[in-house]
Structure 1
Amino acid sequence: MAVKTPKIIKDFLIYLTTIKGKSPRTRREYQYDLLLFFKYYCTVQNEEILELTPEIMEQADLSGVNANLLRDITLEDCYAFLEYCESVRGNGAHSRARKVASIKSFFKYVTNKRRLLDYNPADELESPKIAQRTPIYMNMDETKIFMEGIKEGNHYYRNVCIITFLLHMGLRVSELCQLNLQSIQGDTIHIIGKGDKERSIFLNQACRHSLEAYIENERDHIEGSQDEKALFLSQKKTRITRRSVERVVASINKRSGLNKEKLSPHKLRHTSATLMYRNGADIRSLQHILGHSNVSTTQIYTHVEDEAIKKVLENNPLNFS
């Protein structure tokens, strides 16, 4: 049985997109997290329920989720929910951290914007500690092998341009899919990033050549497109989707013989950023290119490979037997 989203949550989701500029994907994630939280809260209030099974949770009645119910929620309820997510649902730190962000954002809205609460129960809610993960990426040799997997055939020029853009500019796949013909202005490209933040990136020689070849040999010959503005089109002449780009990357990965595990468009972004940094890009320039709001996000690319560390230790002048 599909759970109806309470009005107070709907109002918050509208605020997220219209005022905060969150993407539809982020909105769906917040909605999922908040519905799960209130399913949990409403279910545990029923003393007759002894076990929080998925079936029981799905039957939760959220019709009573209103300002009066919100006033009864405590910080301890929020932590109990996070414990449930970890112990019962097996959520890792990243998943639980996202739920914390959703809960904190919602209660900040109902407290500060709607003035429905005198006290914000999630104000002191802490996020679980997340171990910094080294991004998965391809080295230079692997990148060359991968590029050789782009074979002649349908959409050859389009695919070359897509992969070149991803590897040379570190675009998010969502940014790539949103590109229009008018996004290209001379030797620069206009990007709409997260939260509708705009940035312009210089097109290097490889990007310009791949774009010119795509426009001349493929894009200019497509007629009857359902989205004439879109730069990259699918087989059906519609704007290319995230899933389509994922399939392109997976196909090239296989055909190249590289078969890099879990290679995705986002891993190409990691590859682009890592190779740029290792070849002299300063952290502030990299932050602009990648469209990061905070430089701390960009700093994950300042990692040093284990092999590089090993080489330094091996070259230690005291390393003799």
Structure 2
Amino acid sequence: MKQEIIEARQELSKRLNSNLYYEFIQFLDVKKNTLETYKKGLKQFFIYLLENEIQEPTRKDVISFRDYIKETHKAGTAQTYLASVRAFFKWTDSEGYYPNIAQYVKSVKQEKGFKKDYLTSEQAKDVLNAISRTTVAGLRDYAIISLMLTTGLRTIEVARANVDDLRTLGNSTVLYIQGKGHDTKDDYVKITKPVEHAIRTYLKAVQAQSDSPMFTSLDNKTKGNRLTTRSLSRICKKYMVKAGYDSERLTAHSFRHTSVTLALLNGNTLEQVQQMARHKNINTTMIYNHALQKEKNPCYDSVSNALFGA
């Protein structure tokens, strides 16, 4: 058995940088974004092996790689790269190419709780007030940020929105969206009157066609192209900084946290907020609630009052 493993490792060392990688990529039946993640993770692993002159990787080498990417990448990125390596060696083992040396390697430990902060209602108003609506770009950016703040949409969901996704349902205006992990626009968020007005004012200003992307670039070179998630993130960050809220923990995703948090603070039930945020598991919604419950704990004020007076 030991000799078989040695021979298998020798075979892998010959094929790592050739067709074995491509065989695995072709084997995968995943979405495009997931496929790209696998590619990036595996390339990082192969580069690591090459730079360290490792021809026959062992479990220790996988652990060393994990510890290396923990030091050079964010925890979330390191974990996805490790997941790619795990999937690869699970496949090599199932195909009889190489033993699963990544099995039982511990995951990358990530921080508990949320990595991004949220804005208070007053801070969110400051961000909206920092947007000048005297230009088309300002109208667009105000529509984007007011939409994200009131619905909890992710940047990818905003980027995918088209003009004709804005529809009527009952007595409400809704925006049909392609949610996280979905292939079709089978879900929707409710659009409030102020937000609908902001969106329609912008669409009128750019004379948008019904079949066009909702939010597009206004730059000469890319005019009319759908805004990317990166562009949306830059827009969100720009106005937070302009409003005086410049922190690494404040990003476009903070608007989603803001939406969920304000919904809970204003008396909505966990079930209602779960539905709005489209959390598959109510435990995710409860994380927000637990954080708010601790914030309301009167012990801190009681101790302060005992020391400094009411």
TM-score with structure 2 setting the length: 0.75
Cα distance in structure 1, aligned partners of 2:181 and 2:215: 22
Equivalence map 1:166-315=2 (5 Å): 166-186=148-168, 187-196=173-182, 198-215=186-203, 217-219=204-206, 221-222=207-208, 228-235=211-218, 236-256=223-243, 258-262=244-248, 263-304=250-291, 308-309=295-296, 311-315=298-302
Matching residue of 1:39 = 47
- How many angstroms does 1:178 deviate by? 0.8
CA deviation digits over 1:6-25, x for unaligned, max 9?
A: 44334444555xx32252xx
Equivalence map 1:70-219=2 (5 Å): 73-86=57-70, 89-91=71-73, 93-112=75-94, 115-117=95-97, 119-134=99-114, 135-151=116-132, 152-186=134-168, 187-196=173-182, 198-215=186-203, 217-219=204-206
Cα distance in structure 2, aligned partners of 1:79 and 1:12: 21
Q: Where do 5+ consecutive residues of structure 1 fail to align?
A: 47-68
Supply the AA of the counterpart residue of 1:132: K
Cα distance in structure 1, aligned partners of 2:17 and 2:257: 36
Question: Aligned in 2, Cα 1:5/1:177: closer, same or farther, shift over 3 Å?
Answer: farther
- Answer with 292-301 or 194-203: which moved more: 292-301
* Aligned partners of 1:169 and 1:272 also within 8 Å: yes
- How many angstroms does 1:298 deviate by? 4.0
* Aligned partners of 1:199 and 1:288 also within 8 Å: no
Cα distance in structure 1, aligned partners of 2:182 and 2:136: 32
Cα distance in structure 2, aligned partners of 1:127 and 1:168: 35
RMSD value, Cα: 3.3
- Answer with 6-15 or 169-178: which moved more: 6-15
Cα distance in structure 2, aligned partners of 1:180 and 1:319: 57
* Aligned partners of 2:92 and 2:99 also within 8 Å: no
Question: Aligned in 2, Cα 1:121/1:32: closer, same or farther, shift over 3 Å?
Answer: same
Question: Aligned in 2, Cα 1:289/1:104: closer, same or farther, shift over 3 Å?
Answer: farther
TM-score with structure 1 setting the length: 0.73
Q: Where do 5+ consecutive residues of structure 2 fail to align?
A: 1-15
Matching residue of 2:5 = none
